A and B are shown apart, each in its own frame.
Chain A
Amino acid sequence: MAELEFPILLAGNVLSRLPAPVLTRAAAVLMRRLERRHPRLFRALAAQPPMLIGIEPSDLPHRFLLRFGGGAVSLAAAAHFAQTPSATVKGRLAALLALLEGRLDSDAAFFSREITVVGNTAAIVTLRNALERDAVDLFAATTEVFGPAARVAQRMALTLERHIVLARRRAEQRHDAFHAARREPSPLAIRCERLEHEIQTLSGRLARIEAQMRRRGQSGKAA
């Protein structure tokens, strides 16, 4: 399992801004790095019959095509699939990356519909079981590109992630506050307020009546 959790918001921000050809070139570099880190995984995938898996992160503008079996493993980004994949897995980027790193149980994610699988299930099961055999650390593989400064890059990425999380939280709070200020009071609240006002008025009148009665009683005794 990954040593550090992938900075998912940062990744989402970066990935959604990059054009597909740039992502495809970056994916090729990443695949080479992953192959060096996980030779057994790549050998297992290469030994399979040719398969094409479509990956659709629901919160990104890109789709990805993972090709394995009968040769090298490749990952390409595209706006649309040029070829029909053997199977497609869909879900939020965070869920898909957690599956890749073995942090999320794929069956539970499937049962709860956090991810959706469409098409040839054998292709997906083969890929899932191959990934289950190796603990892929995508964050480490990604930051490896910085060489000796990989640790620094990781710390910077995590700091940026924390800033994004805080910025999002502040934006959510402002959004909630703005809507709370604009929110019209509910009919029940209006009714409660009116009743409260009536009770106060009646309490005041009662107090005055009681005072009058006390004064009248005292003047009667005096007479």
Chain B
Amino acid sequence: MTRYLELVCPAGTPAALRVAVDAGADSVYCGFQDCTNARNYPGLNFDRDELRAGVAYAHARGCRVFVAVNTFPRAGDLGPWQRAIDDAAGAGADAVILADLGMLDYAARHHPRLRRHLSVQAAAASPFAIRFYVETFGVSRVVLPRVLAVAEVAALIGETGVEAEVFAFGSLGTMVEGRCYLSSYMTGRSPSCDGVCAPAEHVSYREEGDQLASYLGSVLMNRVDAGEGAAYPTPCKGRFLVRGEPRYLFEEPTALNVMPLLAELKAAGVTALKIEGRQRSRAYVGAVVAAFRRSLDALAAGAALPAEAAALREIAEGGRETFGAYQKGWR
């Protein structure tokens, strides 16, 4: 069993980094302002100076900083990804989060003392894949894809002895992570290569009578009634006509929340819990990190977990929560 569950928190901006650190994050993860990370949205992320200042702020408070360089480089254009790894090392980051084999190799050769974490974008969900990354590139930690039940997480950790980080709160990824090209098919840009799913410049919302319609390019993705919650028009959360009935085929607008499973995940040997949401606000980061901090402290002290459900549901996508694949109730 893990002795202490590490809380890894999102930082989309320097301000969010400070909020996360102050709210009790053990580690924060962030990215540069380009296509080298999977949250490449306008106005988000860090420039080089901001990263150095962010690392200094976090380290002064005992918090670690991981830099996500977790998209897949374009053929013949490795420069931005190599520079991102070099600059993360130069800024004093504690680890880089990587997905591409070439970038893992580059980091291992050029920055052997910089910890390498395997991004969820690598979708390493079997002992063979995990062993390969650990043995070949000296990967220290694997962020497990959101397709595993708690028992499967425990089995993977037991078989590989790997330091595992699992998602705890936020958006779900029901597709094979790092392999989803639905957005690219519709907009020409994908999370895997461009770091952006359903790019904002392709998204529009229109009021059509009493309904709010969301479009990705010219494709209608969803239409919600006046009292119904809205959602991002990502292709996986579109509502499709199935035999004439509008239905969420792949994923409903729902957020993952493992708060009631913390003890199980700890017993499974999980090292770290990851909060999703670098694209979310400071208010979100502060609320979620503080709620998880209180619960993890209570868990460590053997006390009853505080009631955080209502506050977290308010900021969850769709106003609803799920255990996702951690409890595969359909089996």
- A residues with a Cβ closer than 8 A to B are 1, 44, 102-108, 110-113, 116-122, 124-130, 132-135
Supplied contacts A132-B281, A133-B43, 8 more A-B pairs, CB within 8 Å: A105-B315, A107-B315, A108-B284, A111-B318, A116-B212, A121-B205, A126-B42, A133-B13
In angstroms, Cα B16 to Cα A1, docked, is 11
B15 contacts A122, C-beta separation under 8 Å: no
Smallest beta-carbon distance B111→chain A, Å: 28
Give B1-57 interface residues, CB cut-off 8 Å to A.
12-16, 41-44
Partner of B229, one of A113, A117, A119, A120: A113
A107 contacts B281, C-beta separation under 8 Å: yes
Task: State whether A130 and B317 are in contact (beta carbons under 8 Å apart), knowing that A111-B253, A118-B206 are contacts in the complex.
Answer: no
A1 contacts B315, C-beta separation under 8 Å: no
Partner of A129, one of B41, B226, B227: B41
Which of B99-107, B133-141, B196-204 forms part of the interface with chain A? B196-204
Chain A residues with Cβ under 8 A from B43's Cβ? 44, 125-130, 132-133
Task: State whether A1 and B282 are in contact (beta carbons under 8 Å apart), knowing that A121-B203, A125-B200 are contacts in the complex.
Answer: yes
A111 contacts B230, C-beta separation under 8 Å: yes
Chain A residues with Cβ under 8 A from B201's Cβ? 120-122
The closest CB in chain A to the CB of B233 belongs to: A121
Smallest beta-carbon distance A175→chain B, Å: 26
The closest CB in chain B to the CB of A119 belongs to: B204
B230 contacts A113, C-beta separation under 8 Å: yes
The closest CB in chain A to the CB of B284 belongs to: A105
The closest CB in chain B to the CB of A98 belongs to: B283
Smallest beta-carbon distance A87→chain B, Å: 8
Please tell me if B180 contacts chain A, counting CB pairs below 8 Å: no
In angstroms, Cα B30 to Cα A136, docked, is 22
Task: State whether A105 and B229 are in contact (beta carbons under 8 Å apart), knowing that A111-B319, A117-B205, A132-B16 are contacts in the complex.
Answer: no
In angstroms, Cα B10 to Cα A107, docked, is 15
Partner of A132, one of B226, B229, B282: B282
A102 contacts B205, C-beta separation under 8 Å: no
In angstroms, Cα B283 to Cα A102, docked, is 6
Smallest beta-carbon distance A182→chain B, Å: 30
Please tell me if B91 contacts chain A, counting CB pairs below 8 Å: no
Please tell me if B231 contacts chain A, counting CB pairs below 8 Å: yes
Smallest beta-carbon distance B66→chain A, Å: 20
Complex A-B, nearest 7 residue pairs according to Cβ-Cβ distance, in ascending order: A129-B43, A122-B200, A121-B203, A122-B201, A125-B200, A108-B315, A105-B283
In angstroms, Cα B43 to Cα A89, docked, is 18
B44 contacts A129, C-beta separation under 8 Å: yes
A133 contacts B14, C-beta separation under 8 Å: yes
In angstroms, Cα B315 to Cα A103, docked, is 12
Partner of A122, one of B13, B42, B283, B319: B42
In angstroms, Cα B212 to Cα A105, docked, is 20
Chain B residues with Cβ under 8 A from A122's Cβ? 42, 199-201, 203
In angstroms, Cα B226 to Cα A125, docked, is 23
Please tell me if B280 contacts chain A, counting CB pairs below 8 Å: yes
Task: State whether A107 and B284 are in contact (beta carbons under 8 Å apart), knowing that A125-B200, A132-B12 are contacts in the complex.
Answer: yes
Please tell me if B207 contacts chain A, counting CB pairs below 8 Å: yes
Smallest beta-carbon distance B257→chain A, Å: 14
Chain B residues with Cβ under 8 A from A125's Cβ? 41-43, 200
Please tell me if B314 contacts chain A, counting CB pairs below 8 Å: yes
Chain A residues with Cβ under 8 A from B182's Cβ? none
Chain A residues with Cβ under 8 A from B284's Cβ? 105, 107-108
Residue interface mask B280-319, A partner, CB < 8 A = 1? 1111100100000000000000000000000000111111
In angstroms, Cα B318 to Cα A119, docked, is 21
In angstroms, Cα B284 to Cα A76, docked, is 30
Partner of A135, one of B15, B199, B226, B228: B15
Chain A residues with Cβ under 8 A from B13's Cβ? 129, 132-133
Residue interface mask B123-149, A partner, CB < 8 A = 1? 000000000000000000000000000
26 sampled A-B residue pairs with Cβ under 8 A: A44-B43, A102-B281, A103-B283, A105-B281, A105-B283, A111-B230, A111-B231, A111-B253, A111-B317, A112-B314, A113-B230, A119-B205, A121-B201, A121-B204, A122-B200, A124-B200, A125-B41, A125-B42, A125-B200, A126-B42, A129-B43, A130-B43, A132-B13, A132-B281, A133-B13, A135-B15
A116 contacts B229, C-beta separation under 8 Å: no
